[in-house]
Structure 1
């Protein structure tokens, strides 16, 4: 009985904490950052040292985030869950740890708004500014809709615990071998959405550029979709189109 209550507590806390951190992440990545005019009074050498120090801290934060994602998703860690027969809480613990690292990153991030590649904030209210802001909204819609389409309850870790408590096999085990392989190669369902969010922003400061570059490289390396996955995806789309056309007629 205790283990059942503990499982429910872990997945519930994971769900709400992840939701809380994702709300903060949405604001963190898409908020408007103004150029700090006060830094113009500082000497160029001091600004350079300050920018370098901030960049080193930010690089460390991103490295911790990438390390957490890589280690927690490794086969050796997954084998530990299987060894102790707690595979159902694997996703919940993964989400909690990822959210904790993200929360720390957001809280500790050191912006460098006085060094930037482009700055369109002075055009606020103009057509270009609205276009960039709209692209941010579209990017987040792609991210969250993609998660919902992939079964949000399973991504949140709720479905695994529910199936365990009801005596059913793991949800992933009920999927076809081709779909399991596809999910293993596609580490995140919204690669395109995150690219839009990270790169299309009114102010591309040097710290945001570093974050966008490192996370883009990491996602690209972890995205190992091949022709077999592409063929499977094409077959599923064709099958869905045939079902829709059949229902219409």
Structure 2
């Protein structure tokens, strides 16, 4: 019975996260058809909006980073069963994003506005490429394990999840964190940049740079010299075409 419940929980958590991810694309791109976006919502005093928006970014960053650390996981799995630990993490990540969608305060001051049609199309193309890189990067490693489905499915079948192995598929041969690269590109590539959008993009970029530091520490602990060697020849967010000198 528990196995079926865990599987159901994992599937529901995945569906919630994927729907939230799709809404994030519309939120960042200020796309039509959704009630709130980075530039569409209640507008108030600029100072208050900055404080609220920074707090929302910090909330997301703390949830995303703290719950991903090995030390937190060791304590967390004393409360949450191990098979649904990743699904629970993704559910909390979804809630952090949903809170951001609900309480974000737009700051409509224009930072830049590309009126040239060719330039605007180019920026929208980069926006789409960024999100495509994000999604592709998850599949290049293990999309379903990353989002907790492999864990609950393996548990339902009475099988252990295979230990992680070090791989360098496609983007990963030249860039250590292409998923984050895609996010940075998607957050900044927009033809009409408002101050609120710039705040979101800057905040998320800072979070990504901080998160990479902690994530790589975990990866070195997991893969040891193999990851150290990889870090010496692959760029962090952009390709490194020349090997770093030691």
TM-score computed with the length of structure 2 as normaliser: 0.75
Q: Which moved more, 1:208-217 or 1:95-104?
A: 208-217
Aligned-pair distance for 1:206? Answer: 1.4
* Residue matched to 2:93: 98
Residues 70-97 of structure 1 deviation map (CA, whole Å, 9 limit, x = unaligned):
2211334311344357211111000001
Q: Within 2, Cα distance between the matches of 1:15 and 1:92?
A: 7
> Quick check: 2:38–2:196 contact (8 Å CA) kept in 1?
no
Q: Within 2, Cα distance between the matches of 1:102 and 1:161?
A: 23
Q: What is the RMSD computed on CA atoms of the aligned residues?
A: 3.1
* Residue matched to 1:87: 82
Q: Within 2, Cα distance between the matches of 1:233 and 1:67?
A: 25
* Residue matched to 1:192: 181
Residue 144 of structure 1 pairs with residue 135 of structure 2? yes
Q: Which moved more, 1:212-221 or 1:77-86?
A: 77-86
Q: Within 1, Cα distance between the matches of 2:180 and 2:22?
A: 19
Residue 116 of structure 1 pairs with residue 110 of structure 2? yes
Aligned-pair distance for 1:189? Answer: 4.8
Aligned-pair distance for 1:11? Answer: 0.2
1:85–1:194 Cα change, 3 Å: closer
> Quick check: 2:39–2:194 contact (8 Å CA) kept in 1?
no
**Bigger CA radius of gyration:** 1
Aligned-pair distance for 1:211? Answer: 1.5
> Quick check: 1:10–1:92 contact (8 Å CA) kept in 2?
yes
Larger helix fraction of residues: 1
**Residue of 227, 230, 236 corresponding to 1:229:** 227
SS at 2:158's partner residue? coil
**Structure 1: gaps (5+ residues):** 37-46, 236-249
**Aligned residue pair count:** 211
**Structure 2: gaps (5+ residues):** 32-36, 234-246
Matches within 5 A, 1:192-211: 192-211=181-200
Residue 53 of structure 1 pairs with residue 44 of structure 2? no
